[in-house]
Amino acid sequence: MKVNSLTLRNIRNIKSRQFDFGKINVITGPNGSGKSTVLSGIRVALTGKAPQDYLKTGTDSGYVEVDIDGLGTVTQNWQKGKGSVSVNGKATTRQSVSESLKGIFNVSPALCNIMTSSDVLLALGSGDFSSFLIDEGFLNLETNIDNLIMCCEFTPDAEKEIRSYMPDMPGVITADTIAGTYSEYFEKRRVAKKDLATAQAKAKPLGSSAPVKSSPELKGEQDAILAKIGILKSKAGAYTTAKQSYDNHVALVEKTKADIAAIDVERPNENHINDNRTGLEKAITELADKRSLFASLDKVAENYEATLENLATSKCPISDKLVCNTDKTVVKAELEALLKDVDGQMTKLETQMEETQSDITVRKAKDVTYQEQIKEYQKKLLAIQRLEDLNKLNIVEPEEFDSAELVKLEAENTKLVQEYQAAIAHEAVVTAQEEVKELAKKVEIYHNILEQLKPESGIKQILIEQATQPLAEYMNEQIVKLLPSRTIHVDTEKGLEFVIADETGSVIGIEALSTSEKIRVALIIQDMLNELSGFRVLMIDNIDSFDENTLKAVYRYITDTETMSRYDNIFIAGLPNAQLAKLASEIEPAVTPTEIFM
């Protein structure tokens, strides 16, 4: 990725300036003149991430513009606090610029940040740096099942488990696969621990001793006894039914006999019945005739009484208009005699009708009695017939059922039920104890797997160690040129951290080095990252603290033919003018840098 030029306007202490770059670019000038601003300008143009107070004091607008071979001119512009970006004069987005850098040069914003600032590089924590290398694809953490097993300290059971978990695992196992496996077994261990606690609660020994027989044996004995009990209960039921039928039959026979005995009546004489009915019919006829005669006599009496009433007046019996003065005594006496005779007949008829009516009443009562006697007699006949039918059934009292055997078997069954329940409870405890062993073994296996696969160490740490070994070897090939008494080691205990060892083997962190040593170590790490990424831009800042020998070593390192072949641009900031001229004349073959004076 070749940087051709950089233009700054109203950036920090630079009002407006364009910089054209060559292969090696030496930026010189006094402190505060803007040397570091030039280097940071390239980073800001590529990432769009500007530090606070980036614009020149007193201005509210400015821009950074960089020209890149293969991409064009990228401009980051700020107007009154609002930023914008364009490529070759066409508005776009920071995301689009990042995608273009990734697509054309395989360069990410994170890589730009680290490769354009040793301060950013050295400020990364070990975890952040390992994540960066993994995210950028610089660390190959891929492995296979056999290497995974070889790198981990799995117990035999854990190895068997992990192989069974990955039976169809492809040849390549990635870090994501390992992380997923870790999460899966973390959940498995959680569930197994929960199940183990439940099983342990069930596995507490019972107070009683272990039963002599197992639950299947007891169940078999109980089934046999229940079969016998079933047969006896069936017999008992049959006896109860037969006895109930017999008792009902006997009761019905006795009741029928009682019914027969209670009906103390014989069938009435048929002649008496017929004579009574004939007499009743005759009396009814006689009563009707007498009532008819009585009515006739009553009418005659009424006529006599009317005639006598007329005879008592002068009224003519022939015409109402005539007056009769005839003596009526004889006639009156005759009529009165006739009336008296009629009254006598009627009185006699009344007596006769009462007697006849009484006879009718008696005869009717007698007929009712006859009918009731006939009905009762018929009931008696039916009862006699029913008794005969019952006797024909010939129902015999059943033999009494002996319940002693049934009671004995039910007592045995009750005892077996108790023994069976005790056996079940004991076997449940034994099963739970076996389950505790199995679950405890599972928890132990899962724990071993988790210990080997845990993210902060485990297999990931081992894979990082394997993947970073070539990186350490490359850096140690380079460090002899800049720090001959030092070697670089990779510490993966907490992620990934580069540490420095002296000739005695004592190890110190980079943060404990001098400023000059830090810059040289950062240069070596950047060189290694460039080899991995193909970024092809190297920036060295703040070399003011270098002594003459260190300065020569660094200058010789970057102007080496092999080093220069790996870069399109090399930037050195902080070198005084006089030292630059001296270095250029002393190093063979001479390399003429592009000088940028601030």
List, for residues 244-271, the tens digit of each pLDDT value: 999 999 999 999 999 898 888 888 899 9
Stretch among 29-33, 444-448, 456-460 having the lowest mean pLDDT: 456-460
Residue 61 pLDDT = 92
Domain end position, chosen among 345, 376, 393? 393
pLDDT band at 288 (very low <50, low <70, confident <90, very high): very high
- CA–CA distance, 482 with 488 (Å, rounded to integer): 12
Tokens 């854990």 belong to 158
DSSP line for 195-213: HHHHHHHHTPPPSSPPPSS
Q: Is residue 471 part of a domain?
A: no
- State percent of the chain over pLDDT 70: 93
Same domain, 372 and 288: yes
**Segments in 204-269 forming alpha helices (H):** 215-262
Same domain, 276 and 341: yes
pLDDT band at 167 (very low <50, low <70, confident <90, very high): low
Same domain, 280 and 380: yes
3-state secondary structure of 508: strand
Q: Is the pLDDT assigned to residue 589 strictly greater than 60?
A: no
Q: Is residue 575 part of a domain?
A: yes
At 66, which CATH number? 3.40.50.300
pLDDT tens, position by position, 101-151: 989 988 888 888 888 887 887 787 766 777 788 788 887 778 888 888 888
Structural domain boundaries enclosing 194: 151-205+431-456
Average pLDDT, the chain: 87
Q: Is residue 272 part of a domain?
A: yes
How do 3-11 and 594-597 pair as beta strands?
A: unpaired
Contact between 144 and 173 under an 8 Å Cβ cutoff? The reply is yes
Residue 7 pLDDT = 95
Q: Is residue 321 part of a domain?
A: yes
Q: Is residue 114 part of a domain?
A: no
Q: Is the pLDDT assigned to residue 585 strictly greater than 70?
A: no
Q: Is residue 185 part of a domain?
A: yes
Which whole-number Å values give the CA distances from 472 to 141, 386, 499, 525, 536, in the listed order?
16, 122, 10, 9, 20
State how many domains the chain has.
3
